[in-house]
Chains A and B, each alone.
Chain A
Amino acid sequence: MSKTIEIRWHGRGGQGAITAAKIVANTAFQSGYDGIIMAPSFGTERRGAPISTSLKISGSEINDLMPIERPDIVVVLDHVLLEEDNVTAGLKPGGLLVLNTPKKIDDYHLPEFKLAVVDITAISSEAGLKKGVVNSGIIGALAKASRLFDMDLLLENIEKEFQGRKPGENALSAKLAFERTEIEEDK
């Protein structure tokens, strides 16, 4: 594959969006994609503040280290960011928007994009994680909605990354999220 897949992640400082993107980056790399760039938003990564990180995946080396302007996929760890930050900026028409939200898919009206929703906040509590740990779960939702990554490899990498920090619970959260993610039909 020579086309670059561009995934932009939006979360809050401390939510672990960068860790999640790193797990996906490693998984893509292990699956044979040699071109991987993960560029976090720079300078304002303070607890609670909106942050984003750019993950680019390609079959060949990527030379452009700049933040993603035209994402194929946008992943949002906190649905309130939808109002607070312009998270869909530049998202390609028909592009995938993966959202952690307690709301239902019909509560949203985003006709330009393909929406995938799941309540990771509830799922992670169910999986035995501390309230607000949503970064492992969202990976499961991305895997389900994008069909780009091998779920078993992702789970393996989640357990590795969270070694000593409830690896089993984090993997379970991702698994449950994978199962329960609701996706709008293809656009």
Chain B
Amino acid sequence: MKRDKYKVITSNSTHGPGDAGRTGSWRVERPVIDYEKCTPAKKNKAACHLCWLYCPDGVVTKEIKPQIDLEYCKGCGICAEECPTKAIRMIEENGLPEKEEK
């Protein structure tokens, strides 16, 4: 039987930042990690990483000192909310967009 070939098209994406563009500019508040309080940083071993687990945009790394990719972090504050040692604070983005002009 001769059939026309149509591609099966669906909508898919892979995990990771950047699916909605450079979302860092949306931030009103910026997360700042205090490594004195951060469990993996303090113990110097892989532990906790709830910030990495909960970040809806996948912009927190699972390193001993977790890093936040501010290019894409929207500033939702979930990491700060979930951090059991309150090591993450949300600070105001002082006129955020201007910072690039310095």
Contact = CB atoms under 8 A, between A and B. Distances in A.
| A–B proximity contact (CB within 8 A) | yes
Contacts of B97: 78, 80, 84
A47 B26 contact: yes
| Chain A interface size range | 10 to 19
Given A48-B74, A48-B75, A13 B98 contact: no
Interface in B69-100: 74-75, 97-98
B27 interface: yes
Contacts of B26: 12-13, 46-49
Q: SS class of chain B's interface: helix, strand, loop or mixed?
A: helix
A40 interface: no
A14 interface: yes
A159 B69 CA distance: 42
A84 B28 contact: no
A49 B97 CA distance: 12
Interface in A3-46: 12-14, 46
A50 B27 CA distance: 11
B28 A48 contact: yes
A84 B75 CA distance: 18
B55 to A, nearest CB: 16
Contacts of B98: 80
Interface in A64-91: 78, 80, 84
Interface of A: 12-14, 46-50, 78, 80, 84
22 contacts: A12-B26, A13-B26, A14-B28, A46-B26, A46-B74, A47-B26, A47-B28, A48-B25, A48-B26, A48-B27, A48-B28, A48-B74, A48-B75, A49-B23, A49-B25, A49-B26, A50-B25, A78-B97, A80-B97, A80-B98, A84-B25, A84-B97
Query: Which are the 6 A-B pairs with shortest beta-carbon distances?
Result: A48-B26, A80-B97, A49-B26, A48-B28, A48-B27, A84-B25
